[in-house]
Amino acid sequence: MECRAASLVLAMLGTGVSADFDPEAYPRHETCALCHGLFGTSHIGKFPNLGAQDPTYLTQQLQSFIAGERTNDGGQMASVVLELQPGDLEQVVEWFSTQDPPEPATVPDTSAGAALYDNLGCGGCHDNVSDMPGVPYITAQKAQYLSKQMSDFSSGDRQARNGFDHQSILMVTEDEMEALSLFLSAEPRK
Ligand code: HEC
Ligand code: HEC
């Protein structure tokens, strides 16, 4: 019985799917899910979490990828964002920015990174995202992604938007970037 019911369902799906499949009918954020997760929590350290990220920041970074101003992703984002149709950008930003924030990672000892974060005054901007357009949340973000962004800023591979000089804020060693990243990845999003 069960077998017959299952094959009936399969047969129905079979005809329905082939007749109705229309890729344009799927929401655009599903094309981002492969790398960033459907709800904006990525499962691979080099792909950033997008869930609950600030919408202005998301919009600005997508515009930078589209304009070819942000290229430190090795071209992966460019190949995706150039396919976006009018209206898609707003749709994906709305989707990801309104998801739950990602869960923080578990890190045994974050004290070195916490001290650096305070001493270097990172919180002056990154703890006040809602008051500062273009500043991202960096808590509960992938540590590997954060480390790479910090070295990309300090080497000049990534330029902040609007001529903002993030390079000079990150005059720290690779080990210190690592400690900062581990601390931030384990901090809950506030
Ligand atoms: C094939 C994998 C892949 C797909 C698909 C993809 N991305 Fe990305 N995305 C990346 C990589 C890689 C980076 C940047 C990594 C880096 O800078 O080192 C990135 C970075 C980003 C960033 C910057 C995040 C930050 O914190 O600065 C945003 C925003 C983003 N992606 C949005 C999207 C959206 C929206 C889509 C779907 C339209 C999408 N991505 C599809 C791989 C992908
Ligand atoms: C004066 C404000 C300010 C201060 C202070 C500051 N940042 Fe930033 N940070 C920004 C802005 C603005 C951006 C987005 C840059 C862009 O346009 O690409 C950013 C981006 C980042 C990113 C990339 C996030 C992502 O999702 O790609 C990291 C990582 C980061 N900052 C770490 C730090 C650390 C660590 C400190 C302290 C050493 C710090 N920042 C201090 C303003 C600041």
Select from 170, 139, 137, 138 the least CA-distant residue to 153. Answer: 170
- Ligand 1, atom 18: closest residue by C-alpha: 73
How much distance in Å is there from the Cα of 110 to the middle of ligand 1? Answer: 27
Q: For ligand 1, is residue 160 a contact (CB within 6 Å)? A: no
The string of pLDDT tens digits covering residues 96-121 is: 999 999 999 999 999 999 999 999 99
Which one of 64, 96, 125, 168 would you pick to mutate in the ligand 2 pocket, going by the greatest count of ligand atoms within 8 A of its CB?
Answer: 125
Confidence of residue 20 (pLDDT cuts 50, 70, 90): low
- As given in the structure block, the two tokens for residue 128 are 């006040």
How much distance in Å is there from the Cα of 126 to the middle of ligand 2? Answer: 7
pLDDT at residue 5, as a whole number: 45
pLDDT at residue 19, as a whole number: 56
Spatial CB neighbours of 84, under 8 Å, sequence gap ≥ 6:
28, 62, 66, 92
The string of pLDDT tens digits covering residues 131-144 is: 999 999 999 999 99
Q: For ligand 2, is residue 49 a contact (CB within 6 Å)? A: no
Q: For ligand 2, is residue 126 a contact (CB within 6 Å)? A: yes
* Structural domains of the chain in order of their starting residue, each with its CATH number: 29-99 (1.10.760.10), 108-190 (1.10.760.10)
Q: Specify whether the CB–CB gap between 161 and 90 falls below 8 A.
A: no
Please identify, by atom number, the ligand 2 atom nearest to the C-alpha of residue 70.
18
Q: Specify whether the CB–CB gap between 166 and 153 falls below 8 A.
A: yes
Q: Specify whether the CB–CB gap between 184 and 143 falls below 8 A.
A: yes
Q: For ligand 1, is residue 48 a contact (CB within 6 Å)? A: yes
pLDDT at 8 over 50: no
Share of the chain above pLDDT 70, in %: 88
Select from 15, 7, 93, 9 the least CA-distant residue to 54. Answer: 93
Select from 154, 16, 127 the least CA-distant residue to 72. Answer: 154
Spatial CB neighbours of 170, under 8 Å, sequence gap ≥ 6:
150, 153, 154, 177
pLDDT at residue 147, as a whole number: 98
Q: For ligand 1, is residue 76 a contact (CB within 6 Å)? A: yes
Does the reported pTM lie above 0.85?
yes
d(C-alpha 174, C-alpha 149), whole Å: 12
Report the 3 state secondary structure along 91-134: HHHHHHHCCCCCCCCCCCCCHHHHHHHHHCCCHHHHCCHHHCCC
